[in-house]
Each structure stands twice: as C-alpha cells, then as structure tokens.
Structure 1
Amino acid sequence: MSSNCEKLIYKFFPHIDEQCVSYILGVLSDSIDDFETADDVYDALGHFLVEVNVDGDGDSLLDFCSKLLKAAKGSENGSLSTSSSSRELRALDTPFQILPEGSADADDMNIWIEKKLNILKVDTKKLEKAESKLKDKQERRQQASDSKPKQNIVLDLPSASQQVNRKDTKADASGSTKTYDVKIENFDMAFGEKTLLSGADLSLSYGRRYGLVGRNGMGKTTLLRMLAGRQLRIPPHLTVLHVEQEVVGDDTPAIESVLSCDTKRQSLLEEERKLNALVQQSGTSCPSDISSRLTEVYAELERIEADKAPARAAIIMIGLGFKSDQQRKPTKEFSGGWRMRLSLAQALFSKLDCMITLEPTNMLDMKAVIWLEDYLQTWPSTILVVSHDRAFLNNVATDILYLNAQKIESYKGNYEDFCKTREERLKNQQREYEAQQTTREHLQVFIDRFRYNANRASQVQSRIKALEKLPLLVPVEKESEVMFRFPEVEKLHPPILQLDEVSFYYEKSKPIFKNVNLSPNMDSRICIVGENGAGKTTLLKVLLGELSPTSGIRHAHRNLRIGYFGQHHVDQMDLNISPVEVLANRFPGKPVEYYRTHLGSFGISGELALRPVVSLSGGQKSRVAFALMSLTSPNFFILDEPTNHLDMETIEALTKALAKFQGGVLLVSHDERLIRRTCDEVWICGSLGVTSLNGGLDEYKKLVVKEISEAL
C-alpha cells in the first residue's frame, strides 16, 4: 500500500519535507509500470534523493530504491495516493489551544507550533533535471514500443468436411452422373474454431425453391459460399451461380452485360459472324463444310430461341426497375446497389440448374420485390435463397431449411407453414419427453423399492432392461429471445420537424422534388415508399439537415435529437476493432461495463462484444449500428432500410421495440410485415413530390401491380 512506501521514506529520511514525499509518491504512481529494477527507480529519483540525503552515499540510496520498488510493486492496485486518509497520523511537537468563538482573545488568537529544525528543501533546478531525465526515458520506451511490428488481424476461414460415397465419386469422375438433385450427407462445417454444422444432411430436389433460415451467426452465408465454391460435393455437371458480387463497372451497356451471361448463345453468335465473313470472302466458291457448319449454327440458334433473348433480358431488367434508357447506359455509371440488381438480372437470365442467392430483396424497392416474387414462382430449376423477408418467403418458397443446433431441418411449405409445423413439432417433442420422464420415474421407483427383494428379482431385472431400452429424449431448448431496448424519450410539443415549400435538386435541370410540405410529430409512424431513384434517401437527408433545400424552409425543434440508421452505416464502422471499442471511440469516457450492458440490450453480448466487427454476421453488425445510434438517446427515428441483413427474430425484436418507442418514427422499407405492424401512414415519393396514400400499403400494392402489368 502507499502507506508502506510513505513509512519507508520517513524511515530513511526522518526530516524530509511533505512536499518531497508527495513528489516521490507521485513519480512512483505515474511510472510504476515502467520500473523493473532498483536502477530504474534510481534513474528517475537519484538526483533528487542525493539532494535530500546530504550525508548518505550512493549504495544506501540504491538499497533504498530497491526497498521502495518492492513496497510499490506490492501494492494491491499499483496506484499510489498521497491523500490524508492513507497517511500515518503523527503527533504534533507541541500542544496548542483553540479559544472558543466570542472569547476576548479570539480575534488576536494565534496557533503556535514548534518548528522542526533542519527541514530539508529540494533544489528546484535538480528537480527539473530529474523530471526531464525520467521523461526522456519514457519517450525512448514508447518509441521502442511503436517500432515493433503490429500484428494484423488474421480472420478465421471457413472449412468443411463430408463423407463421400465411393460410388458417387466414381460416377462423378466418369461423367455418368445424371441427377440434377443435390444430396450431401453427414457433413461438418466450421468457421475458424467455431463449429457451425456437425453431422448435418442437405437435400435439394430439382425444381424446388428452398428458403434457408436461421439466426444470425448460424452459418447460412458460409453454407451458401461452400456450395457455390463446390467445397461441398455437388454433381459436376450442374451449373451453379451464387448471386453475391455486384457487376464490374465498365463501358459495357447494361443489357449487353445481361445478354453476355448466356455463354452458349454468345459463342454461337460469334461463330456465326466468323463463318459469314468466310462465306463473303469465298463468294460463290464457298467450301461445303463452311456452309454445312453455318446451317448447323443457325439451327442451334433457332433451337435455343436466340432471337428472343434481347426481349427476355429487357423484361427482366424492366421488372427489376431498369427503364429503357437505363438499359443502354454503361455499367460504370450505375451505383453499387444498381450493379447488384444487374447481377441478379444476369442470374435470372442465365439458364442455371441451381441458383443460390443471398438476400435478393435487400437492394430492391417494393415494386421490384413484387415483380421478383411473381417471376420466381415460375422458375423451372432449383433455387436456394437466404432471406429474412417473411412475405417474400411466403410467396416464393416451396420448402424451408432451418439451421439450428448445428443441424439442418427440412420443412415442406412456405414460411408460415414452417412456423406452424415447427411449433407443433416442438410441442410433440416436449410431450414425448415429459411422458418418458414419467415412465422413467415409475420404473425407477419400482427398481429402488424392490432392488433387494429376492421375490421380486425377476421383475426388477425386467424393469431395468426396459429402462435401458428407452430412447434418450431431450427437452425442448427455448431459444433466447432477441430484445431491443430503445431509451425513453422526452416529449416535445409540435412542430418538431417541418418542411415548408421545400424543393431540392442536384442539377437545376433535374429537380428531385418540388414544393414539399411535411410535418411529422412525436406520434408519427410513417413509411415512405416509391421506386429507387424517386428521391426517398435524398428526402431523408433533407429532413436530417445533411442537405440544405434549394428553396423552402426546414424547421427543427431545438431539443430534437434524431437517431438515423442508414443503409451504409454498417460499412462506416471500423471493422478491425470490437463493438465495445466502436462505442468507446464514438462516445468516450464510460466504463467498459456500460458499453457491454448497452450492447447487450441489442443482442450483442458475451464474446460477441469483444470480437472484431469484421468477424460478425451482417445482422450482428446492424445490431452494433443500432446500439451506436441509440447512445445519443434520440427522440425521433429516421430509418433507411433497417431490416437489411437482420434475421427474423431480430426484425421481430425491432418491430416490438419501435411499437414501444415513445418518439416519432419515419422509415423507408420494403419489409411488408414491419410496415404493417409499425406504420399507420404511407407516403409515396415520386413525380417530384411526396403525397399521403389514403389506402395505405394495400392501395400502394394495387398501384404497383397495375404499373408492372402495363410496363410488361
């Protein structure tokens, strides 16, 4: 303890001044981690101690430094204090008297204390020299530490292993495999040291549409990548495409980038051009083999309906939101979100045996989602899709694959059917477990009662055998419920946020919207819908104050605190640090426990809070972004596609949290379930304006279906 150091100082220097003691303790407190030997302490305090120890020698001072270091290192918390509470009380050298207030001598009262002789004072210049020497030493150590190579974060890599039948291996090698089904038995999958699947089975029947669901972090994305990369056995003749990467931006027109995916058509057209060039060069003396081959090429092009391909590609692109003029634009002129749409268009245009896609609706507006649902219902081959959009899975999926407890459970039907069937399975499992437990108890009671009764020995043995034959059943494990807890807010009197006759444009010739009047309040629950490019995100930025209106007025309440969640908020976080560090960097000054508790209220608890953000799943990163957003205690939420990458349970938790939130909510989303359960107003953004839709979401869907049918 610091008192031990203080006693040691007074023992060696009985007449030392208290200011000197404070200085010695201060140096120890600040640099205790840097001191490793007595020489280190002597280097820091030597010049100062020589001045104090006038009659001593260097050896005695070095011995003192050794003892002082041991006393300091032996402290419980490594910190030294000079507070009066930690000092040893000492008697004064002379008594004194304090006169009571009001006495005759009170005004002239003096307290006399006998002054000690030979009080030692420190030499200021030598003190400064000692401090300078200590500072130089600390700087040298810091430079040495900085010069060491920093370790880069090495991300864990996924791995998989499976049992393969020799017969299947031989069939694959000989090319005799004809099946278009995918069947993978008894395989394991891990991500680094974390086991994701163990002894799992996966079966995909040709022509079925599978929805892969499960909580964030269970391995859905990893499984898709393993299948697409053929790290798990897939019949080699199957054409498989994983829609994950956006199209590379170059000078290729958008529709040509889609048409180029049909490699067979492209090669036939190229061969046709070369053969026609040879025919023109040869004139009337064209070799018969060239003419014959050209006839075969024409026949093959007709068979695959190559002439209809541009129209089919255009229909797909229109359905995904590409207007006629956009289809001819170079791919480099599209944003990342639109290039992802192009990637999806390429996959839909290609004639694949198995299409694997991750969250296909994330980059789509509601109009494109509705078209995609209708288009996929007629898809002839296999689809494996990860989606957290319940309405999409209800309209598209014929089967649900559920990742849980390191296994893959298969369910027939869409997502609603899956929920009902799974709930019934769990009830039956719990009933069977409880019934078996009752049977076990009855058998065990009989065995315990008559174990040593010779007359009942045969009956006891039969019951022991019956007990051993009972299958091992386990109780239903309830999954931990995901909870979002937004902070309570202070009610504000309207108007809290208002746009009066607001117009905005990036280029004067291309206005985004004109003369918009909006006034959301603390009770607002508003969803903004409209096509991509209609100006929804721009409108949100004007409401946030990030963009200034080109005309009109934006008014915000002086106590308004807006919590904004954007589509790219996750990408803006430092991915190489932990969620705790993300919060601490943005809002410093709180203990670690505070950040961990706050993250826990958004489902980031335990070791997840300490892992690098880059190793988290997309949904877990979004939870960190929500936790970060809510640290400012906002009283109005503006949310731009908040459900992207969230799993079903987290979307459900977000929906419940928004319902309990006492502030205003304005969101842009294509998630039909979230909109219906959260919002009571629908604003449609388009035609240079923003208008309220009286019929709500149902009315908007009718308008969208009508527009799609007219466009096609």
Structure 2
Amino acid sequence: MDECENLIKSRFPNINDDIYSYLESVLTVSHDEFERPDDVFDALGEMLTEIASSGTSESDIRDTCNEIYELLDFGKTKRSNGMRQLDAPVQMAAMNFGAMTDDITSMTSIWMNGSRDDRLKHVDKKKLEKAEAKIQQKIDRRNAEGTKPSVSAGQDCQASAAQVISKKSARMENKSAGRIQDIRIENFDVAFGEKVLIKGADITLVYGRRYGFVGRNGLGKTTLLKMIATKQLQIPFGVSVLHVEQEVTGDETLAIDSVLEADTVRFDLLKKEKELLALNSTEASAELSEVYAELSSIEADKAPALASVILAGLGFSADEQKRATKTFSGGWRMRLALARALFAKPDLLLLDEPTNMLDLKAIIWLENYLQTWPSTILVVSHDRHFLDEVSTDIFHLQSQVIDHYKGNYENFFKTRSERMKNQQREYDAQLQLRQHAQDFIDKFRYNANRAALVQSRIKMLEKLPPLIPVEKEVEVTMKFPEVAKLSPPVLQLDEVIFGYSKERIVLNKIDLSANDDSRICVVGENGAGKSTLLKLVLGELTPLTGFVHTHRGIRYGYFSQHHVDQLSMDVNPVELLQQRFPGQTVEEYRRQLGRFGVSGDLALQSISSLSGGQKSRVAFTVMCYSKPNFLVLDEPTNHLDIQTIEALSIAINEYNGGVILVSHDERLIRNVCKELWICGGGKVTRLDGGFDEYRKVVETELDCVIYK
C-alpha cells in the first residue's frame, strides 16, 4: 500500500489528505472485487479526474490505475487463475484450529480466506466513515447535476423499483459506459405502494432510436419514467438523463438565458472566462487560451442562435425570449423546461405527455424537430399522430408486462391486432381439440372395445399445458345522450368585437355561425383567443359591440380544461351525482356513469383515487346529465389515453347535437371535425379544405424556424 501511496501522490501532487484517505479506504475495503485494471479505474477514476491537473487526459488516469493494479498483490494473484506461488512449504497440520494463535485474524493462508467482517477489523474506522461520507457526497452531487430546476427527475415516495443485477452485468455496464450509450434495464419490478405495476420486465433502449411508451392510464408508465430519471433502475454510468417534468422556476433570468444555461459545460466555460479576464495576469492568459479552445470545440458561438430557434419553434416570439421567466404562466414555463431539455441534448430524453402543454403549431414543430434527434428518446404520449410521426419503436405496457414493437404507433396497432387474432385462433383451435377429445371420452368411457382409445385421449389431455384465454383490454365506451333537433340558425356571431378594454382588443369583427349538426374545431396558437371565443359563445363574456344570437332552446354542455380539477375529490362518483342532481335512484346514477365507462367498483371508489382519464369520464357524466343539445369542449383529451380518445371520437360522431371543439389532438380533429375556425391576429376565419390545408399553412410558417 505504501508503493500505491507514493505513486498516487507523485502523479497527483495537489491531492489533500482527506481525498487520499478516501482512495486508500476504497482500495482497502473493495480490493477483493477488482478482477482487472478497469475495475480500479471504475472505482477511482472519477475522483482522480477531479483532482488531476488540466493537462491530464483520461488515458493518463487509466495508466495510473493499471499501475496501481500491478502494485497490489491481489492483481498478480488474480491474473494467475486464482493460483498463488507459496514462499515456503505449508504444513497442513499447522492449519488446525487448535494450533492457531489467539489472533485468528493474523493468519494468512491460501486455504483460509477471512470473512468480510474479519477484514474490516484492519480498516481504520474513521477513514472508513470518511470514505462513506465522500461516496454519499458524490452521489448527492451527481443527482444534483442531473436534476436542473426546469428538468427535474421528480420524487415519488410511494413508488418503488427493484432490479436483479448480477455482479458481472454491473461490471460490464460500467466498463462500457464510456464507449456506448445503449441502455439495458433487465429483470426489474415497479410497485406503487402494495400494488405491483410492472413485474420481471426487460427493456433495451438503443442509442439514436425514439421509443413511444403506451398503455392504459394508471398502469405505471409515468412511474417508470421517474424510476429511470432518479437512477432507481440501473443504467450505464455516464449516460446523461433529463426528465421534463417540472416547470422552470420563475425569476429575473431571461427566457433565452434560461435555455442557454442548460448547457452546463458552455455555461461553466463562460463563467471561467470572465474570472480569468478579471485577473489580467500572464498565468491567466495561458489558461484563457485553453478556455477559448474548448469554447471553439463545442461551437459555443452558435448556441444563442440554436436556443432562439428552439424557443421560436415552441411559440416564443423574439420579444418574449427576452422576458424574465417569472412573467410567464405555468404552461409557458413548462415550454421553457422542454426548450432547456432540447437544447441540452442529453443521451436519454424522457418526455411525459409533451403535447399537453403545446398548441398545434408547436406540436407540428416538435414532431419535425424530434425526427432528427441524435440520441435516445422515451416518450409517454396519448397523441396517436405524434407517436406516428416521432416514434421508431413502441413499448406497450399491459398486465404488468412490457412488450417491444418495431415501427411507429400505426405499425404497432396493426402488428398487435394481427397477433391478437392469431392468438385467438390458436386458442379456439386448442379449445376445439380439447372439446373433441373430451366428447370422445364421455361417449365411449364405458365401451370396452374403445377403452384403449379413451385412455390415450385422457393421457393426451393430461399432458396438455393449461389453456389460458387471450387477455384483451377492456373496451372503453362513451355515449352522449339522444337530444331533440333544433331548427336553424342555432348559433350566430354578428360583427362581434371583444376586448378586456378598448385598447386591448382580443377578437375583432367576428362573423360565424353553427347549427345542431356542426362539428367545428377551433385551432390557433395559445393566447390567440380560442378560450375567449368559447366564453362568448356560452354567454360568459359580453362583446363590446356586435351580437351573439342563440336558439332559445339551446342547452350547452361545457367541458373546460379545468373541469377535472373542479370535481369533489372526497366523494365517489355516485355520491357526486347525488349532490349535483338529487332525487334519483342509485341505479339511475350508475346507469348514467356507465354511459362513459364508469361502472362496477369504479363508481364507488373515491374520486381522488381515480386516474386522470377516469376523472375525465366522471366529468363527462356530470356535463351530460342534463342532456345538453350543444357541446362546447375545451381540450377534452388532456387526461385521456389513446383508447379513450378513440371512444370519444366515436361518441361525438354518433351524437345528434352540435359540437364546437378546441383540441390539439390531430387524429381526433381529423376523425370528428368538418369545419375549422382559425384564431390569430385578432381574427377568427373559417378555413375551407380541412385539417390538411391548415397543416400546410402551419408548416409554411414554420419553415424559417425548424432546425435542420
């Protein structure tokens, strides 16, 4: 150990006693786990890198670790296939326990290895405690570096993950960390409280591919993303991970500066440049040259332009990019968090419902941007079109199992549907075979001439594996009530001008109309006046000039973006309907809930325990209880999974009343809407040509900001 001390202190003259004590403790306690020089580098390399001088490369540190391995006796021992040459003959009789001295730990022999507890007796307890404290500090610092204010790993004290990792697998992961970025997470479980969400799963994330993660709400998709982000599941050391989950903290930092700060390497180099310029010395000048070289190598001068492109694509105007982050609402701060992650370009980007915070224009930009993403993406999304445009692979979670499918969502849907059909055909064939055999047995059980054949059939059935029915996902159903027809015109806006003051006009001279068979989608950027238009239609706002004419028999059903948040969480769905609409039987309340798939035990569970999609279905029930004949739906898909969105589109198409819809889900719009109203520039215009025409308009506008 003295030779190792001399080697380390000669190569790293700036090392202090505390750091050396830490290194010495690692070598003392963990040396039995080192099987090759790379193991020494894995254990000491990071700390040696931190204390090395600026001219020391990783190769130099690896050479030092190789020499440490050679100096230690166990390095030579393990290289000889576990055999060791003895200095003198060993008398086996002397190994008898009765002949041992009182100090059993002083004995050394190739025939007797001391236990770990025995070995620890020779370790300085103070040094060991100091080493453990250093290790914990490193873990805390690493977690802090990987968790920025805007791109947070998130914490969930109720969720837990378990993973079976062999020593060999862990060593191979660490060994390969500097060379590849593929991620293998093998044989892991995820639980939420006592409920097991995922069991015995294996996933592989190949560097450069984009994985969509789908499955019903409440099965554990978001929880798994948090487990990966917080490193509760093992991923290769050195792989950078960002989880876009929390909004940027509002302060005086400008929006564009907030994005630029996400590149910590560039930010630290610029900070160092300022410090060196302030020193204005000869030594500082030499170091300043190195800083400039590093800034040039990472093309730091191009960073502001790239940050501006990302912000523009996500909807920030040139003026908004120069505003302080504290001036933005929560939704826009979430966009800033996404912009920071896109700018930082981590090895693994974790996105959870990224389209929820974006309007259609920003979604179309994000689809184009992610198609050229250089590293790995794992995204949870309910937007089927977004998954079709972005994903190269799909992970599907069902019944605690994760299955992998090549291709986008459309390919996954076709492949899985065909697989389910084949499994059902095989099940039916096996069932028919068993039934025929059983019929033969029942028919000829007491026929002496057929006894041998009966016995062979019985043995055949006994040898067959259990027949398990094909597990199908429960189909979601939604059904809006039948309503009486209204004679036109049902709704008409004439020369409507609205503003919160005469100086702040939001909508100017709006002329539009709708009937009871209308299927209208309102599109436009966030802040363009979509929600204001809906409130004018509903009569919640009064125009400054102009008129809003409505049929005297119209009954609106309004689903707001915050409808789910306004439910009473301390009651169950049946009790909620009893409070809102008293006087009916429990059977009637349950029948109404059943129209939107809230049946069985769900109807009696506390609303607080329901998933976001289940709460939305309760909100739809409340909205439709009075049988509205005109629906106004503001972002109804935010909490729904793909299957429920499909059910919603079917329900809207079957509904015989009018519908005005604000949504960013392209597939829902294509399936449902026959007419588009575009909000922008204080105007609302009717677009002929449908969604394809709108997409062309948007892509033309985005040509100047899409990053190629």
What TM-score, normalized by structure 2, do the two folds share? 0.73
Change beyond 3 A, Cα 1:554–1:330:
same
Counterpart-to-counterpart distance in 1, 2:450 and 2:626 = 73
Q: Which residue of 1 aligns with 2:187?
A: 186
Percent identity of paired positions between Structure 1 and Structure 2: 62
Match of 1:304 in 2: 298
Alignment of 1:189-588 (within 5 A): 189-279=190-280, 282=281, 286-287=282-283, 290-441=284-435, 467-588=461-582
Q: Which residue of 1 aligns with 2:651?
A: 657
For 2:705 and 2:298, locate their aligned partners in 1 and report how far apart those are by CA, in whole Å. 26
What is the alpha-carbon distance in structure 2 between the residues aligned to residue 180 and residue 711 of structure 1? Answer: 29
SS at match of 2:653: helix
1:225–1:492: structure 2 CA closer, same or farther, 3 Å change rule?
same
- The letter for the 2-side match of 1:327 is Q
What amino acid is the match of 2:379? V
Q: How does 1:32-111 map to 2 (within 5 A)?
A: none
Between 1:304-313 and 1:465-474, the stretch displaced more is: 465-474
Secondary structure, counterpart of 1:488 in structure 2: coil
Larger radius of gyration: 1
Give 1:524 deviation, angstroms.
Answer: 1.2
Provide closer, same or farther for how the CA distance between residues 612 and 553 of structure 1 changes in structure 2, counting only shifts above 3 A.
same
Question: How far apart in 2 are the matches of 1:584 and 1:251?
Answer: 49
Q: CA deviation at 1:303?
A: 1.2
- Give, in whole Å, the separation in 2 of the partners of 1:250 and 1:607: 46
Distance 1:395 1:304 in 2: 30
How has the CA–CA distance of structure 1 residues 514 and 206 changed in structure 2, closer, same or farther, with 3 Å as cutoff? same
Give the conservation status (yes or no) of the 8 Å contact 1:210–1:401.
yes
Tell me which moved more, 306-315 or 573-582.
573-582
Q: Is the 8 A contact 1:362 1:644 kept in 2?
A: yes
- Shift of the alpha carbon at 1:222? 1.9
**Counterpart amino acid of residue 279 in structure 2:** L
SS of the residue aligned with 2:355?
A: coil
Taking the aligned partners of 1:422 and 1:306, their CA distance within structure 2 comes to 46
Structure 2 contact 522–661 (Cα < 8 Å) conserved: yes
Return the alpha-carbon distance in structure 1 between the equivalents of residues 297 and 364 of structure 2: 31
Alignment of 1:613 onto 2:607: yes
Change (3 A) 1:368 1:686: same
Contact 2:351 2:378 in 1 (8 A): yes
Q: How far 1:376 moved relative to its partner?
A: 0.5
Q: Cα–Cα, structure 1 residues 497 and 438, in superposed 2: closer, same or farther, change >3 Å?
A: closer
Corresponding residue SS for 2:431:
helix
| C-alpha distance in 2 between matches for 1:477 and 1:271 | 60
Among 633, 642, 651, which residue is 1:648 paired with?
642
Deviates more, 1:391-400 or 1:424-433: 424-433
Q: Secondary structure at the residue paired with 1:482?
A: coil
Q: CA deviation at 1:468?
A: 4.9
Matched residue, 1:159: 160
Q: In 1, distance between residues paired with 2:160 and 2:590? A: 31
Rounded to whole Å, the distance in 2 between the matches of 1:172 and 1:415 is: 30
Letter in 1 for 2:353: E
How far apart are residue 366 of structure 1 and its match? 1.4
Gaps of 5+ in 2: 1-155
TM-score normalised by L of structure 1: 0.73
Q: Supply the distance in 2 between the matched residues of 1:237 and 1:466 (Cα, whole angstroms).
A: 55
Shift of 1:582: 3.1
The answer as to whether partners of 1:400 and 1:413 remain within 8 angstroms in 2 is yes
Helix, strand or coil at the partner of 1:519: strand
- Match for residue 677 of structure 2 among 679, 683, 694: 683
CA RMSD of aligned residues (A): 2.5
8 A Cα contact 2:507 2:683, kept in partner = yes
CA drift of 1:452 comes to: 9.0
| 8 A contact 1:563–1:630 mirrored in 2 | yes
Q: Distance in 1 between matches of 2:606 and 2:339?
A: 34
User: 1:676, 1:164 → 2: CA distance?
Assistant: 47
Deviation at 1:460, TM superposition (A): 7.3
Distance between the aligned counterparts of 1:455 and 1:560, measured in 2?
79
Q: CA deviation at 1:477?
A: 3.0
In 2, the alpha carbon distance for the partners of 1:430 and 1:695 equals 42
Amino acid at match of 1:511: I
CA distance in structure 2 between the partners assigned to 1:176 and 1:675 by the alignment: 44
Partner Cα separation in structure 2 for residue 676 and residue 296 of structure 1: 56
Output the amino acid matched with 2:617: R
- 1:48-88, Cα deviation, whole Å (9 max, x unpaired): xxxxxxxxxxxxxxxxxxxxxxxxxxxxxxxxxxxxxxxxx
CA–CA distance in structure 2, aligned partners of residues 491 and 450 of structure 1: 65
Structure 1 residues 459 and 363: alpha-carbon distance in aligned structure 2, compared to 1, 3 A threshold: same
Distance in 2 (CA, whole Å) between partners of 1:400 and 1:668 is: 28
1:394, CA displacement in angstroms? 0.8
1:373–1:176: structure 2 CA closer, same or farther, 3 Å change rule? closer
Rounded to whole Å, the distance in 2 between the matches of 1:457 and 1:176 is 66
Measure how far apart 1:444 and its partner are. 5.3
Kept after mapping to 1: 8 A contact 2:176/2:236: no
Shift of 1:194: 2.8
Shift of 1:352: 0.5
Question: Structure 1: which 5+ residue stretches go unaligned?
Answer: 1-154
Taking a change above 3 Å as real, the CA distance of residues 201 and 506 of structure 1, as seen in their structure-2 partners, is same
What's 1:168 paired with? 169
Distance in 2 (CA, whole Å) between partners of 1:578 and 1:204 is: 40
* Aligned equivalent of 1:64: none
Alpha-carbon distance between aligned partners in 2 of 1:434 and 1:614, rounded to the nearest angstrom = 41
- Return the alpha-carbon distance in structure 1 between the equivalents of residues 270 and 255 of structure 2: 19
Q: Does structure 2 conserve the Cα–Cα contact (< 8 Å) formed by 1:171 and 1:177?
A: no
Q: Which amino acid aligns with 1:199?
A: G
Deviates further, 265-274 or 571-580:
571-580
Aligned to 1:71: none
SS of structure 2 residue aligned to 1:514: strand
